[in-house]
Amino acid sequence: MLTMENTMEKKNKKFRNPFPAVGKIFKYEMISAGRIILPVYALLLVLSLFIGIFVMSSDFDFDGNGALGIFKTAIVILTTILFVVMIVIIFSIIERRYKKSILGDEGYLNLTLPVTVGEHLWGRYLADIVWALSYAVIMLLAVALIFIRGWNQLPQAFSKFLQSSAEFKLQYGYGFGYIFCCSFINCLIFFMLICIFIYMTETVIQLIGKHRTLMSILIFVVVFLLFQNIAELVFKGYEGMTDFKAGLLWSISLYNFVWCVILSVITRLVLMYKLNLE
């Protein structure tokens, strides 16, 4: 007999709180990736501090000549390379973690847990966002440490920044702070687009028995051409623009976000219906 209590029980069974599962996936991914990423962060900060104290002068020039100058130059070059390599390391770890935990040996265990495909993906998306934010913070700290001897000039520099921002706002209607927020959101979405593209590519090529490298290159070329050609049509109205418009940044963010959704849906559908574990 159907009663109100039975109806409520069925409704409660249908409802699933995703936050505990997403939180556990997020925590596990942060711990696993952090074992490699955090030491590299620490190395970058230490090198930046070394440059700030022993290499850069208060006038932001190199101190020392001869062999000492060569050594200091080498340290600066190494740190500059590490700035670039850092983002490559993060993407490589994100790809390896996804391939191992979802498509590899760990996938046999992880996908038998009471966690949906969407929860698996969202846990990783949140971890990726944290790594993107942490990368931005570490880069700012590293730059600040490199110019540590010039911190006494910060009030003067900040005053000039506020003056330039006020002039820019009078001309365009918004200041540098607004532009920074738009640019930051745009960069964050683009970072997520790369991560989701990695997930999608790894998931699709898992269905291929042979020539996976060739298939991954083909997927990249096809997606890149679609991304570029559609972008030319979408942003055709901004061609020949001479004045800066913040609307362009928001349009780019929206365009990248739409691609994030599309690639995420493809990844989820393949994982749900065509998953092929190694």
What are the structural domain ranges in the chain? 19-273
Predicted local distance difference test score (pLDDT) of residue 6: 45
- Residue pair 209/215 in contact (Cβ under 8 Å)? The answer is no
Q: Which two tokens stand for residue 251?
A: 């349009």
Nearest to 134 by CA among 34, 35, 50: 34
Q: CA-based diameter of the chain, in Å?
A: 93
Sign of the CA dihedral running 120, 27, 197, 18? positive
CA distance 277 to 173: 54
| pLDDT value of residue 130 | 96
- For position 74, what pLDDT does the model report? 75
Q: Are 86 and 40 in contact (CB under 8 A)?
A: yes
User: Which residues of the chain are modeled with pLDDT < 70?
Assistant: 1-15, 56-72, 209, 239-246, 276-278
Q: What is the reported pLDDT for 66?
A: 59
Task: Look at residue 173 in the predicted model and tell me its pLDDT.
Answer: 76
Report if pTM > 0.85. Answer: no
d(CA 207, CA 278): 10
Q: What integer pLDDT is reported at residue 34 of this predicted model?
A: 92
Q: Are 194 and 183 in contact (CB under 8 A)?
A: no
Q: Please, what is the end-to-end C-alpha distance for the chain in angstroms? A: 48
